[in-house]
A and B are shown apart, each in its own frame.
Chain A
Amino acid sequence: MSTLVRNMVDDSGTDEEIPLPNVKTAILSKVIDYCKYHKDSPPEEIQKPLKSTNLVECGVSEWDNEYVNIEQEVLFELILAANYLDIKSLLDLTCAKVASMIKGKNTEEIRKQFNIVNDFTPEE
């Protein structure tokens, strides 16, 4: 599932250790959970653009929906890990989750959600 890992295995075989200093342990274990679950059942393609803020209505399974019901920070770390490891379905899922958190909100609410400082000048 992870293209990076696959390449490394192709390169050096399954017995070798693969160093992943870029990914924290906790996050990596979350990733492994995902991969284990979806090893034999590939996830459905999520409909884009999102139909609603309820991910289940957009094609996400119950398990996946529960899986991304986590703290924001963990969610963001998960996105980075999926990007680095090149796991497309996990990346899609996590980004969809964030998108669902943005969808329907106005500017102020988004700022509050993600703790973004308003750095526009009054003219902008």
Chain B
Amino acid sequence: MSSLGAKKPGIRQFRSGDPMDEKESNRTWECLRHAIHQIHQHNASSLSFEELYRNAYNLVLHKYGELLYNGVQGVVAEHLKVVAQSCIECPDDRLLDELKKQWDDHKTTMVMIRDILMYMDRNFVTQYKKVPVYEMGLMIFRDKVSGHPRVKTHLLTLLLDNISAERRGEQVDRILLKHTTNMLVELGVQGKNVYRECFEDQFLDATRKFYQDESKQYISQNPCSDYLRKAEKRIREEKARVENYLHESTMEKIQELCDEEWISVHYKTLIHMENSGCAWMFQCDKIPDLERMYVLFSRVPHTLKEIQKVMMDCMCEAGREVLSDPEKVKDPVSFITAILSLKQKFDRFVKESFKESKDFQLALKQAFESFLNKDTRTAQYLSLYVDDQFRKGLKGMSSDADVDVALEQVVTVFRFLQDKDVFENFYKQHLSRRLLTGRSVSDEAERSMISKLKSECGHQYTSKLEGMFQDMKLSEDIMKQYKNSFASPSLSRGSRAGPGVGSAVSSASSSIDMKVSVLTSGFWPGSPMNPCTLPPEVQECISRFETFYLAKHTGRKLTWQPQYGAADLKAQMPKTKHELSVSTYQMCILMLFNQQPTWTYQDIRLRTNIPVEPVDELKRHLQSLYVNPKAKILVKLGDGEKKEPEENDQFMVNPQFESKLLRIKVPLVLSKNTESATGAPQGADGPSDVPATVEEDRKHLVEAVVVRVMKSRKTLEHNQLVMEVTRHLTARFQPSPTLIKQRIEKLIEREYLERSQADRRVYNYLA
């Protein structure tokens, strides 16, 4: 497109066709008006689309857009006035149908009109910022037809009546309703929300009122679980209603409304309802009801806290019952079993009804921890329970899995204990007894338990226990070696002395079958005591063993502990022969009677040296030999009826002794203040006492931790120090602030710490 002037001389001025004058424009408009009228009469097929389009095009092109636009508006308005009239005159039950018809009609005609006037929409409308044709049509419909006061109110009433009817259980024409609500939604153009203003607001109000009344009435006449079912049903119903024939924007609002009226308003009443609320459900194991409540109340999360509270209260209440039940308290096994079954019950609730919700798990944990630790005997009971299991309970279990489950349960309770060190203390004592008397049902189970404890509390906690096992194993090995060394060189040993003595010695030694357990003193509980005077035959054996052992392990010191020992004696009683199973001390006492037939109490004491401090073992062991009617080996001569032996009482072997059994076990009498062999718990102490040894250990632990903390921090304020120390010790026990304060004072006395000059509350570490 280069040279211009040279192209065509006198280039014709470009024109877009003839200009249109007013007459022409009016004629064109008339043509269009007539066409629109035809469309309204459903005679569109007779029209030429192109012609009408061209007419509109021409009008706009020639600047008659305004005429066209206003004209169309007028025609449509006129038409709709007539339509409105028919709707007003229509009887109520036919109104929705009539509206549907008219609305569909209107939409179709408007589409056709818009197609014809598309050019105007594109140019005139955008240029002059008018409302596009189709929307304009909707607005006119909204103002003249659906917005007509008579139509509007009737429409609303009809819709609400239909909904009420459906709520009562009647059938309604859902399709028609959907159509109507769609119409309202579509009419929401140019910033006006017709659906909300002409329907939704009133619908929500009416619904709220309806459900307020219904829920109030229902709750006063029905138990909790029925109410929950009803609420669930209504909520589901409303959801379906929105999905079926209301607009989706209503969904959230109606759900919120239902949640509020059915749940938020009444939840406290429901939870605390007498004889059908949460407490009752917990007691009667109503898992599905609780589940329903949980699912329903999850819609309004803050209500769940109330359920948690009730659950915690129920647990604590049940726990308290167990703790205060005298029967249970006497028998640790049933105590722990009761606690375990309580936990299992509530675990089940959390799992099945509350869908393992973290909040509920936490609540359960807190409740359990709180009542469990109210009574510090729990740690002791747990240990006794475990002891019982190892001695008897696990016997019935065939598979390893069962054993594991049982032990896991114990560990579960253990986790909640605050006084883990008390448990350790008792566990050690019970374990040592089990090991020394060989009473444990399954070695493997014991080891399994230890490893579980190790993974809970770390290796330090269980190192001593493992040490005890080691000792037992080593002792077995030593005994084997000892017996082997015995077998061959007995001849060579005898060769030192004369043949007679030698053989007498070896025969005497080999006639006593002895089993020695060598215990490392740091691992095992109890402090070493001075041994008693053993019968010479036994003494001989012991010396031989000692020689053997010390030859193997020079530099060690052996202290014999007969208080843990047991002996089997062949007894030739006046009437019958028996084998007596007794403690070592009892053996010492009885062997005396080989030498002379009667002994006084004083003499027995002097000869045997059985300790009477700190606990009067002599009395106890002696008593057991004559007090028990089943095992009345001795008789006490003198003051007949008194059970307690006195200095000058005389004793002799019971000439009248008889028993059907060949092998008789002589049980030890229970002593008042010691832990007896049968393992009944220390009853004299109140519920908040901790064994003395544990107390001592705690003091030392606190001090050690204080020093460690101060060493690394150099300077710390009192409260912070207390916090740090507590944090370190929580795994073992809960130290009280007063205890910590006491120990700090002691450390200051011993010049590990000092108080800062500047601030009395601050401590400094002294290197």
Same complex origin of A and B: yes
B11 and A19: CB pair below 8 A? no
A19 and B12: CB pair below 8 A? no
Is A12 part of the contact surface with B, judged by Cβ < 8 Å? yes
A12 and B49: CB pair below 8 A? yes
A101 and B1: CB pair below 8 A? yes
Is B13 part of the contact surface with A, judged by Cβ < 8 Å? yes
- Cβ–Cβ < 8 Å partners of B13 in chain A: 115-117
B12 and A73: CB pair below 8 A? yes
The one of A3, A22, A101 that contacts B118, using a Cβ cutoff of 8 Å: A3
Shortest Cβ distance from residue A46 to the other chain B in the assembled complex, whole angstroms: 17
A115 and B11: CB pair below 8 A? yes
Is B16 part of the contact surface with A, judged by Cβ < 8 Å? yes
Which residue in chain A gives the minimum CB-CB distance to B112? A11
Is B754 part of the contact surface with A, judged by Cβ < 8 Å? no
Shortest Cβ distance from residue A32 to the other chain B in the assembled complex, whole angstroms: 17
Q: How many residues of B are counted as interface, with CB atoms below 8 angstroms from the partner's CB atoms?
A: 20
Write the A5-23 contact mask toward B (1 if CB under 8 angstroms, else 0): 0011001100000111110
Given A7-B49, A8-B49, A11-B115, also A86-B1 (CB < 8 A): no
Is A52 part of the contact surface with B, judged by Cβ < 8 Å? no
Is B134 part of the contact surface with A, judged by Cβ < 8 Å? no
**A72 CA to B7 CA, complexed, in Å:** 10
Is A1 part of the contact surface with B, judged by Cβ < 8 Å? no
Shortest Cβ distance from residue B64 to the other chain A in the assembled complex, whole angstroms: 16
Is B128 part of the contact surface with A, judged by Cβ < 8 Å? no
Which residue in chain B gives the minimum CB-CB distance to A76? B14
- Cβ–Cβ < 8 Å partners of A21 in chain B: 50, 54
The one of A8, A72, A86 that contacts B122, using a Cβ cutoff of 8 Å: A86
Shortest Cβ distance from residue B20 to the other chain A in the assembled complex, whole angstroms: 14
Which B1-56 residues have C-beta < 8 A from chain A? 1, 4-5, 7, 11-14, 16, 48-51, 53-54
Is B57 part of the contact surface with A, judged by Cβ < 8 Å? yes
Q: Which of A12, A69, A115 has the most CB of B within 10 A?
A: A115
Is A26 part of the contact surface with B, judged by Cβ < 8 Å? no
- Cβ–Cβ < 8 Å partners of B7 in chain A: 71
- Cβ–Cβ < 8 Å partners of B48 in chain A: 19
Which A1-58 residues have C-beta < 8 A from chain B? 3-4, 7-8, 11-12, 18-22
B49 and A72: CB pair below 8 A? no
Shortest Cβ distance from residue A77 to the other chain B in the assembled complex, whole angstroms: 9
- Cβ–Cβ < 8 Å partners of A69 in chain B: 1
B1 and A4: CB pair below 8 A? no
- Cβ–Cβ < 8 Å partners of A19 in chain B: 48, 50-51
**A101 CA to B1 CA, complexed, in Å:** 8
The one of A18, A72, A97 that contacts B50, using a Cβ cutoff of 8 Å: A18
B49 and A97: CB pair below 8 A? no
The one of A3, A73, A101 that contacts B14, using a Cβ cutoff of 8 Å: A73
- Cβ–Cβ < 8 Å partners of A101 in chain B: 1
- Cβ–Cβ < 8 Å partners of B4 in chain A: 112-113
- Cβ–Cβ < 8 Å partners of B16 in chain A: 80
Which residue in chain B gives the minimum CB-CB distance to A18? B50
Which residue in chain A gives the minimum CB-CB distance to B58? A22
Q: How many residues of A are counted as interface, with CB atoms below 8 angstroms from the partner's CB atoms?
A: 28
Given A12-B49, A86-B118, also A97-B1 (CB < 8 A): yes
- Cβ–Cβ < 8 Å partners of A4 in chain B: 53, 118
**A19 CA to B51 CA, complexed, in Å:** 8
Which residue in chain B gives the minimum CB-CB distance to A3? B118
Which A60-86 residues have C-beta < 8 A from chain B? 69-73, 76, 80, 84, 86
B118 and A20: CB pair below 8 A? no
Q: Which of B1, B4, B16 has the most CB of A within 10 A?
A: B1
Shortest Cβ distance from residue A1 to the other chain B in the assembled complex, whole angstroms: 15
- Cβ–Cβ < 8 Å partners of A112 in chain B: 4-5
B118 and A7: CB pair below 8 A? yes
A7 and B1: CB pair below 8 A? no
**A101 CA to B7 CA, complexed, in Å:** 15
**A70 CA to B50 CA, complexed, in Å:** 29
Which A73-124 residues have C-beta < 8 A from chain B? 73, 76, 80, 84, 86, 97, 101, 112-117
- Cβ–Cβ < 8 Å partners of B5 in chain A: 112
**A22 CA to B13 CA, complexed, in Å:** 19
Which B54-92 residues have C-beta < 8 A from chain A? 54, 57
A20 and B122: CB pair below 8 A? no
Q: Which of B5, B49, B57 has the most CB of A within 10 A?
A: B49
Shortest Cβ distance from residue A103 to the other chain B in the assembled complex, whole angstroms: 12
- Cβ–Cβ < 8 Å partners of A116 in chain B: 13
Given A97-B1, A101-B1, also A11-B49 (CB < 8 A): yes
- Cβ–Cβ < 8 Å partners of B11 in chain A: 72-73, 115
Which residue in chain B gives the minimum CB-CB distance to A100? B1
Which residue in chain A gives the minimum CB-CB distance to B12? A73
- Cβ–Cβ < 8 Å partners of A11 in chain B: 49, 115
**A11 CA to B114 CA, complexed, in Å:** 13
**A69 CA to B1 CA, complexed, in Å:** 6
Shortest Cβ distance from residue B9 to the other chain A in the assembled complex, whole angstroms: 11
- Cβ–Cβ < 8 Å partners of B54 in chain A: 21-22, 84
- Cβ–Cβ < 8 Å partners of A97 in chain B: 1
**A11 CA to B5 CA, complexed, in Å:** 47
Shortest Cβ distance from residue B118 to the other chain A in the assembled complex, whole angstroms: 7
Shortest Cβ distance from residue A55 to the other chain B in the assembled complex, whole angstroms: 10
**A38 CA to B4 CA, complexed, in Å:** 30
Which residue in chain A gives the minimum CB-CB distance to B50? A19
A8 and B50: CB pair below 8 A? yes
**A3 CA to B119 CA, complexed, in Å:** 10
Which residue in chain A gives the minimum CB-CB distance to B57? A84
Which residue in chain A gives the minimum CB-CB distance to B51? A19
What are 15 A-B pairs with beta-carbon distances under 8 A? A4-B53, A7-B118, A8-B49, A8-B50, A19-B51, A21-B54, A22-B54, A73-B12, A84-B119, A112-B5, A113-B4, A114-B14, A115-B11, A115-B12, A115-B13
Binding site for A on B (CB under 8 A): 1, 4-5, 7, 11-14, 16, 48-51, 53-54, 57, 115, 118-119, 122
Binding site for B on A (CB under 8 A): 3-4, 7-8, 11-12, 18-22, 69-73, 76, 80, 84, 86, 97, 101, 112-117
* CB-based closest 3 A-B pairs: A115-B11, A19-B50, A76-B14
